[in-house]
Amino acid sequence: MNRERRTRPGLRARVTVTFAVGALALSGVMAGITYLTARAGFLSERQAEFRRQAYVNASLVQNALRVPGTEVNQLLESVDTLPGSRSVLNTNGQWFATSISVGRSQIPAAERELVLSGTAASQTFTIAGTPEVVVGVPLPGVHAAYFEVFSLEEIERTLQTLALTLAIAAGVTTLAGAAVGQWAAGRALRPLRGVSDAAAAIAEGDLGTRVDAGDDADLSRLASSFNRMADHLQERIEREARFTSDVSHELRSPLTTLSASLSVLETQRDQLRPAGRRALDLLSADLSRFTRMVSDLLEISRFDAGSAELSLDDVDASELVRHAVVAAARPHGSDPFRAPAVPVVIEPAATDMRVRIDKRRFERIVANLVDNARQYGGGVRRVVVDAPAGAHGPGAFMRVAVEDDGPGIAPDERDHLFERFYRGHHAGRRGAGEGTGLGLALVAEHARLHGGSVAVEDAPGGGARFVIDLPVEPVAGSAGGDGPPEGTTSRVVG
């Protein structure tokens, strides 16, 4: 069943979000508690102040009303009130007020009745959307009731500012929480990055890479498990490489004996019957194929064991290529005069180019490519030598392209072409001229040892074009380090 995999956010993102949510929850609760406590404190303090003021004014009004002939409106005006507060007086059933905005009808009926019946009371209510507090004081001695209305608008504004400030503080705390989470996750994950770098280096072929746990107790278990795994892996790979090398070595002496015996038989070929001669031919073809395979395997095992080394010479690039092409065009045992001439094109940039190169390995590269072009590509069309980044200086590299007249290489085959024993649709066939599928794998290894690369693409005008890029000055021990730029085609980079 094809189950869809949902991609989860990374550990760092999850830790960051957790810290942010935690900070938000904590700061939200703190802000809420602070707001409610501050609000309750403010209101009770202000209401006590309002009550105090109302009682003082009520007693002033009571004293004044005891004096006969007191002008009530003047009396109310003379009462000292807090800014924004307004007085309302009921005396002998008549209502007086200092402001037209507040009078009998604005005071809540329940409050009015309670105070007129002789009980002091205070109540919060709204006038035109503005919160107000009314404090009512009965004045039974003078048959009156004194009300004072105080506005809560200023307190509400203060509380709104406080709420806004607390919300901003909660937002800032949330952001700070997220930042701390990201930093903490980054710190916690840093050791893992070391392990992942080491794993990447091992995957790239640097089998000796290990993780150093330092003095980190948590990391040391992971590091020692990782290093143990790397030890096993390295041991196993080296054992396998040694095995291939040992087997190839062991096969060399019987092969030499077989070749010598076959040469003896060849000298007596004329005395053999036709069936015997045919058998001799088959034996000879298979033996030379076998010998080549053993020598290729030996070469490859040296790469695997890491013991392959460059033996560099300073040579003229065009001479080198011409020489290698002539040698390749004259394969073992063939008639040098019947081998078809291969045109070598030296581009102007590469005319006087000098390269430091392992000549034997370069000749093996060219021999493999020319041999392949002959076997699978209808013959070599031309070999082109170029220096796309100039012939000298840092970054300069020699580009050698071998083009053929064959069917070319299908794009989906290009990635596999450089794998060991890959023979494409030739796999399974056996014959005198058939290869073993090691040729291009070796080409890639030789190129890589120089810090270069090999790629395959379509040749202009059809056919395949194998492109080898080799640095003019290989850096010792940096196989693949400062190689030439990668092409757009399947490229095995060293």
Closest contact distance (angstroms) between CB of 229 and Mg ion is 36
Task: Tokens 């003078």: give the residue.
Answer: 142
Q: Binding to Mg ion by residue 435, rule CB under 5 A?
A: yes
Q: How far is CA 305 from CA 80, 148, 233, 343, in A?
A: 104, 101, 13, 38
Record the tokens describing residue 455, joined without a space: 């790629």
Asked whether 320 and 355 are in contact (CB, 8 A), the reply is yes
* CB closer to ligand ATP, 131 vs 379: 379
Residues 2-21 within binding reach of ligand ATP (CB under 6 A): none
Contacting residue, 439, 463, 471, 483, with Mg ion by CB under 5 A: 439
Separation between Cα atoms, residue 329 and residue 293, nearest integer Å: 20
Q: Binding to ligand ATP by residue 34, rule CB under 6 A?
A: no
3-state DSSP percent of the chain in helix, strand and coil, to 5:
55, 15, 30
Selected range binding ligand ATP among 29-37, 41-49, 76-84, 432-440, rule: CB under 6 A: 432-440
Task: Give me the residues paired with residue 164 across strands.
Answer: none
* CB closer to ligand ATP, 63 vs 436: 436
Pairing verdict, β 380-386 and 344-346: parallel
Closest contact distance (angstroms) between CB of 494 and ligand ATP is 17
Pairing verdict, β 86-91 and 144-151: antiparallel
Which partner in ligand ATP, Mg ion, none is near 436 (CB below 5 to 8 A by kind)? ligand ATP
Task: Tokens 């087997």: give the residue.
Answer: 247
* CB closer to ligand ATP, 3 vs 332: 332
Q: How far is CA 407 from CA 376, 403, 413, 462, in A?
A: 8, 11, 13, 7
3-state secondary structure of 213: coil
Type of residue numbered 488:
T
* CB closer to Mg ion, 372 vs 453: 372
Type and span of the H or E element at 456: strand 453-458
Contacting residue, 422, 462, 480, 489, with ligand ATP by CB under 6 A: 422
Please identify the residue of the shown chain whose CB is closest to the bound ligand ATP.
435
Q: How far is CA 466 from CA 200, 341, 414, in A?
A: 29, 19, 11
* CB closer to ligand ATP, 139 vs 409: 409
Separation between Cα atoms, residue 85 and residue 281, nearest integer Å: 125
Selected range binding ligand ATP among 62-70, 244-252, 268-276, 368-376, rule: CB under 6 A: 368-376
Q: Binding to ligand ATP by residue 194, rule CB under 6 A?
A: no
Site string for ligand ATP, 388-417 (x = CB under 6 A): ----------------x-x--x-------x
Contacting residue, 426, 462, 480, 482, with ligand ATP by CB under 6 A: 426
* CB closer to ligand ATP, 68 vs 461: 461
Q: Which of 99, 42, 94 is nearest to 76 (CA)?
A: 99
Closest contact distance (angstroms) between CB of 368 and ligand ATP is 6
Residues of the shown chain interacting with ligand ATP in the complex, contacts defined by CB under 6 A: 296, 368, 372-373, 376-377, 404, 406, 409, 417, 422-424, 426, 435-441, 464
Residues of the shown chain interacting with Mg ion in the complex, contacts defined by CB under 5 A: 372, 435, 439
